[in-house]
Amino acid sequence: MSSKLIATKFAMQGYNVHPSVIEILKSQPEKNIDRIVSEVCKIAGNSFIITPEDVSPVLEMLKAKEVRKLKEEIKPGKPLPQRCDVSLIKDITGGSCCEGSVDDFVLYFNSRYEKLASIISQQRNFFPVNIADVRKRKSEKVRVVGLIVGKRESMNGNAIIELEDRTGRITVIATGKLKEEADELLGDETIGVEGFLRGRSLIADRIILPDVPVNGKKNKKDFNMVFISDTHFGSNTFLHEEWNTFVKWLNCEVGNEKSIKLAERVKYVIIAGDIVDGVGVYPGQDRELEIIDINGQYEEAAMQIAKMPDRVRIIISPGNHDAVRQAEPQPALPKEFASLFPKNVMHVGNPSMLDVEGVKLLIYHGRSIDDLVMKIPRLEYERPHQAMIEMLRRRHLAPLYGNRTLIAPEREDYLVVDDIPDILHCGHVHTYGTAYYRGIFLVNSSCWQSQTEFQKKVNLNPIPGNVTVYQPGGEPIRLNFYSA
Ligand SMILES: [Fe+2]
């Protein structure tokens, strides 16, 4: 509705209206405007100008009514129109047992080391020896597996890596081309090294990352999955118009014949975290919120998600803006928020591995992309799939410890990629990228908010409103709902 028409409606009731109120009301559905004007005027009393403070209680009241109506419409146990076959293979929800003690950290790092060392040791023709036994094999090629406990550059430009296993420690020297590979090691990884002894050091011929084996091509499934992320409901930079068009497309109400055909086949929508903008996530965030309390944000999220068709199963995992613990692995949203959402929503942890009709789907919000981009100069936020490849090469979703990605010392490391996925879905960086790596489909699926003040300060240019439609076994299709 135009600004002029909104101002006229208030003028007819004898009130002037502040320009910021008009901006707020322009994002409201047109059918609600008359009611909002009438309710606001009822409580405005002798005010001369209608301000945002007069409008916000009315908007809150209308939203609460809408949520109640939706909850009544969504009857518990209502059967889904399509048979969905999704099972959770692994996530932390309900299984956390760490308290952050020294013992917890020891167990965590042991789990991390054992899992990754075992993956490397099982590689073909790689038969590692204990580091303590290396010197018994002076004339042979030596293969070891260890945790990197230190890395530096020598005076003559070689990489010096301190490697440790349960039996001892050895200095590894990487020269020439191998030095470039060594430069990309992050410092907390478990690696394999093949080389020969010179003095007390091991001169590397090859550095072996755990990596993933080639995942063979799969048969095409007869359904589409839609990947989105970082909806940030509650933010004042949330893209209402773009989101509404996306939901209409999902309901087959807009789009050309080809895109409607795509929408008709959508059976799953996967959301990789940052469902809401949260509260107090970064300094000054309160100035960038449209909904200032966390309950209101999740009510809004539930209401928006409920606009998606019933035939679609929606899978939601949290991110660093959501109301769960910040340290990874994060459990699914707590009941008080999860219960607001319709029954066709499945809440899972971050990360989580699922079996979706035979397709192994690994969802991870992607906080560690910040660390990877910071540490490896060739990686860029504009191409987030590159960082996702590095996660798979290291078989770990957050390979760097102690930087931006907070990690809870669980007794088992849930962030190790033990099981090979068919799809890895991330978000977090608000940019867009897809790729195949060794047969695994990688997707980082954009966001639904424009650039925030915080992002301007850190020079992060989002690529919002981009959606990936993917038929497992086929090629991904990118739909752009962002109109700016
Ligand atoms: Fe986000």
H or E element: which one contains 251?
Answer: none
Residue 282 clears pLDDT 60, i.e. is over it: yes
CATH topology of domain 86-95+214-480: Purple Acid Phosphatase; chain A, domain 2 (3.60.21)
The one-letter code for the residue type at 120 is I
For 109-163, the pLDDT digits (tens) are 999 999 999 999 998 888 899 999 888 876 678 999 999 999 999 999 999 999 9
Q: How far is the CA of 289 from the centre of ligand 1 (A)?
A: 14
Cβ burial of 251 (10 Å; 0-12, 13-18, 19+) is: middle
Q: Where would I find the H helices in 88-229? A: 102-121, 176-183
The secondary structure of 224-245 as a DSSP string is: EEEEE----BTBTTB-HHHHHH
Q: Is the pLDDT of residue 61 over 80?
A: no
Long-range pairs for 374-381: beta carbons < 8 A, 24 or more residues apart: 374/403, 374/404, 375/186, 375/400, 376/184, 376/186, 381/429, 381/431, 381/460, 381/461
The DSSP element (H or E) to which 170 belongs, if any, is strand 169-174
CA 9 to ligand 1 center in whole angstroms: 37
Asked whether residue 76 carries a pLDDT value surpassing 50, the answer given is: no
Q: How much is the average pLDDT of 72-93?
A: 69
Q: Using one digit for the tens of pLDDT, what is the confidence trace for 402-446?
A: 788 899 999 899 999 999 999 999 999 999 999 999 999 999 988
What residue spans define the domains of the chain?
A: 3-73, 86-95+214-480, 123-208
> Look-up: residue for tokens 């359904």?
223
Query: Do residues 235 and 462 make contact, with C-beta atoms less than 8 angstroms apart?
Result: no
DSSP 164: E
User: Mean of the pLDDT values across residues 355-378?
Assistant: 95
13 Cα: distance to centroid of ligand 1 (angstroms)? 42
Torsion of CA 427, 432, 437, 442, to 10 degrees: 40
Which tops the pLDDT comparison, 442 or 56?
A: 442
Residue 277 Cα to ligand 1 midpoint, Å, equals 8
Relative orientation angle of helices 52-73 and 294-305, to the nearest 10 degrees: 50
Distance 364 CA to ligand 1 centre (A): 12
Distance 45 CA to ligand 1 centre (A): 41
Would you say the pTM of this structure is higher than 0.95?
Answer: no
Category of 234 on φ-ψ map: left (φ > 0), alpha (ψ -120 to 50) or beta: left
Q: Could you tell me the two tokens for 251? A: 């309901």
Q: Are 443 and 364 in contact (CB under 8 A)?
A: no
**Residue pLDDT, tens place only, 186-200:** 988 999 999 999 888
Instruction: Specify the pLDDT at position 72.
Output: 55
Of 434, 424, 454, the residue nearest 317 (C-alpha): 424
- Please tell me the distance between residue 237's alpha carbon and the centre of ligand 1 in angstroms: 12
pLDDT value, residue 113: 94
DSSP, res 27: T
Cα angle: 38, vertex 43, 47; to 5 degrees:
105
Options 1.10.10, 1.10.8, 1.20.1530, 3.40.50; CATH for 3-73 is: 1.10.8
pLDDT, average across residues 41-57 = 81
Matching CATH number, 123-208, of 2.40.50.140, 3.30.70.2470, 3.40.630.30, 3.40.1080.20: 2.40.50.140
